[in-house]
Structure 1
Amino acid sequence: MSPHWLHGETSRLPVEGTLPDFGGATGWLNSPPLTAEGLRGKVVLVNFWTYTCVNWLRQLPYVRAWADKYTEKGLVVVGVHTPEFGFEHDLDNVRRESHGDRVDYPVALDNDYAVWRAFDNHYWPALYLADADGKIRYHHFGEGEYSRTEMAIQRLLDDPDREIVEVAPRPVEVSADWSTLRSPENYTGYERTERFSSPDGIVFGKPHRYDAPDRLGLNDWALVGDWTMGEQATTANAAGGRLVYRFHARDLNAVMGAATPVRFQLLLDGAPPAEAHGADLDADGFGTIGDRRLYQLLRQPGRIADRTAEITFLDPGAETYSFTFG
């Protein structure tokens, strides 16, 4: 795609405010601390993210590609890692996942949400684009609009190369199949969970032996076995704990982890997932969780329908946080 703009034209990008400072950051990766004043003269793309967010992971290939293509032309990409879950405050976790995700540009660690508040931001992911005078000229919340965002970058850089980047995403970074997506993100901790369907309901913060209902409706989920449902995480207290989820989407992902490795098996409508398995389990449905992160469980080929995923954790200690779909 080659957009046909007049060379140097920036008048159609409104001024939306002044680039806030990053003084509230609790640390930095890949860079010494940066300031808004020190970035004057550069075009700055600020990307709010948290490493378990599937929406950010699907945006990431484009942010990486823009950093690669435009840094030498005057663009500075600044990631702002504002954590959603408690474990995302841990520097070693953020450093490990940043390295694995090939986030090589500067990252402000925003554990106290100070930078988030300075931008009056409310979304993961979010993009803010500032010109060389420190004025915000463009923003986008959520996924998509990649060509439009890159055109805004080109316009502020006065870049004569109007070609749009092509990306080669990892499996977890592939865009959702929006046309078949009927299941929203859901959490397994009691603070934000919805449609929990085990017959006894939620037992807050205490070990309890749960059972599955006779039937799960679409987007219902349930626990089976000995579990403790905490505010953010639901933890299997014994081997053999099961989690069942009725969903309608091409992809099924889960934010999970454990203090020590935990083996699991996923069955799809009672059978091994075969060619529908995701990157983090095999065709028989077996996988292992350890690091607290997003795990890609299913990517279904062919026709998408209502399906039931049943995950059995073969060791105690599994922590589940959320399910996302694509």
Structure 2
Amino acid sequence: MSHVEFPLAPALAASGWLNTPKPLSLDDFRGKPLLIYVFQMLCPACISHGLPQLARVANSFGDEIAIMGLHSVFEHHGVMGPEALQAFVHEYRLRFPIAIDRPAGRIPETMARWGFQGTPTLVLLDADGRVRMQHLGPLEDMKLGKMIGALLAETSENAVNSDNAAHRTSAAFERGDCDDMRCSL
């Protein structure tokens, strides 16, 4: 079976954060899959489809998957500032961390860096921070659930393989098959 290499996600360029006591980086989410929801508060599909879908994902997967938002404004800049976003987050009772994409002219910095084509965009990262899916527009719940389930199974399999490797290394050390540079399994 061929091994596919997925690219590491580029860094976020956030000018601020909501729902978190400190600024975050993608590294803070490592260890479990991360669903990033890229939205604008005046985007009809973001409100009618994306936000309810995030609630369903959170209810279905709980703590098995991390969720964060990225408010990325590429139109109507004057009415979608941080104060308006805070009110929006409060009114819609959004509880997940939300990064505010750093303005950089018409197209915000993270949006340009990641190549987003608009909102809503869903990005799914694996537990190692690699981009596994980037999708513009609404995505059916079943398709998203299938992708998340596959990443969770992969994460679980990697954890088992890592535990087995650690056990084999520990056993090799106990047998005396280790020196300062390596252990023979």
What TM-score comes out, normalization by structure 1 length?
0.42
Q: What SS does the aligned partner of 1:28 have?
A: strand
The within-5 A match list for 1:67-106 is 67-73=58-64, 75-83=65-73, 84-106=75-97
The counterpart of 2:24, out of the listed 34, 42, 61, is 34
CA distance in 1, matches of 2:58, 2:79: 24
| Structure 1 runs, 4 residues or longer, greater than 4 Å off | none
Contact 2:17-2:97 at 8 Å conserved across structures:
yes
Structure 1 position 82, deviation (Å): 1.0
Find 1:141's aligned residue among 136, 143, 147: 136
Structure holding more helix per residue: 2
1:152 Cα offset (Å): 0.6
Local SS of the residue matching 2:95: coil
Residues 88/66 of structure 1: CA separation in 2 closer, same or farther (3 Å cut): farther
Q: Are the structure 2 counterparts of residues 38 and 59 from structure 1 closer, same or farther at C-alpha, using a change threshold of 3 Å?
A: closer
Does the Cα contact within 8 Å between 1:56 and 1:125 map onto a contact in 2?
yes
- Cα root mean square deviation, aligned: 2.3
CA distance in 1, matches of 2:116, 2:146: 23
Contact 2:102 / 2:110 at 8 angstroms: preserved in 1?
A: no
Summarize the Cα distance change of 1:16–1:146 in structure 2 as closer, same or farther, 3 Å threshold.
Answer: farther
Identity of aligned residues (%): 26
The answer as to whether partners of 2:35 and 2:123 remain within 8 angstroms in 1 is yes
One-letter identity of the residue aligned with 1:91: P
Partner of 1:109: 100
Residue pair 1:88, 1:94 contacting (<8 A) in 2 also: no
What 5-or-longer segments of structure 2 have no aligned partner? 155-185
Q: When you count strand as a share of all residues, which structure comes out higher?
A: 1
Shift of 1:95: 0.7
8 Å CA contact 2:121, 2:134 repeated in 1: yes
| Cα shift at 1:132 | 0.6
Structure-1 separation of matches of 2:150 and 2:18: 28
Whether the 8 Å contact between 2:39 and 2:46 is mirrored in structure 1 is yes
| Higher RCO (C-alpha under 8 Å, 6+ residues apart) | 2
* 1:217-232 to 2 correspondences below 5 Å: none
How many pairs does the alignment contain? 147
2:11 maps to which of 21, 26, 30: 21
CA distance in 1, matches of 2:58, 2:24: 16
